Amino acid sequence: MLATALVLLNLLPAAPLPSSTEPKDIQCQDSGQYIGGIDRSYALKIGGPRERKWEYSFATTGGQLGDVTMSGTYEIVNGLAVFTGKTNQNKEVRFALNFGFPGDRVQFNAFFPDSDRTLRYQREQYRQVKGNWQLAERLVLTMPRTLPEGDTWEVPFQGEHVLRDEAGKETSTKIDLKATYQGGMLQKPLDELAPAYLFPVVVNQRLGAAYPDPRLSRPNTGGYLRGFHPGLGGAVRAR
């Protein structure tokens, strides 16, 4: 699987990143479908920098897997796209994802170039406390821009995981581990802070990004679209 991903992704053309002085245009529209025991369809639409609206949906035959619809508005804050809105169950959600432009398509929630030597990943989750949004979780990871050799990929991760409870008490965990992936799937260590998947994106014979989910898999049964998936608006993970 990993070798196939490398061959396919090596065809991605290089695309210039927007400069810091230009408005970030992350608008896109995407959809997918899986026909099987339980049919699934999913769609993502993010508007331009003027309207700044977004919506994501995941639907299955008869709602057997729990249909999800999320929509609202977004803003760009400190290099992150911050999405705020409601689900079809009237649950208010707010989460922040990093983004990049490997090839010619905007992608979210992945490892993107932080320097000539490293890729960086960051996501944040928020909760409402007394009517105000407050940070509940932040995960930051960095990894070297070293391409895998063969089907096994050993990746050292460094970073920080921050959890904040409703009273504002913050717990920070430093991350320093080496993970082993085979066929894009984590083999060891079985650490919840190591991405369960990791797929390389090769641009101009260099590691241009890495996806911590199976968004490129065929068939895509989990509703992954450019880093969006049904669980994005869910609760913060307990530790």
Query: How crowded is the C-beta side of 167, counted as CA atoms within 13 Å?
Result: 2
b/e string for 158-177 if b means 16 or more Cβ within 10 A? ebebebbeeeeeeeeeebee
What whole-number percentage of the chain has pLDDT above 70?
88
pLDDT of residue 184: 93
- Asked whether the beta carbons of 2 and 199 are under 8 A apart, the reply is yes
Residue 201 belongs to what H/E stretch?
strand 199-203
Nearest CA-CA partner of 228 in 11, 54, 13, 8: 54
b/e string for 52-67 if b means 16 or more Cβ within 10 A? bebebbbbbeeeebeb
Q: Mean pLDDT, to the nearest integer, of 86-105?
A: 93
Is it the case that residue 67 has pLDDT exceeding 50? yes
Enter the pTM of the model.
0.87
Interval 176-193: pLDDT, tens: 999 999 999 999 998 889
Mean pLDDT of the chain: 88
Rounded to whole angstroms, the Cα distance separating 178 from 189 reads 8
- Using pLDDT thresholds of 50, 70 and 90, give the confidence band for residue 157: very high
The residue behind tokens 């432009």 is: 101
Residue type present at position 202: V
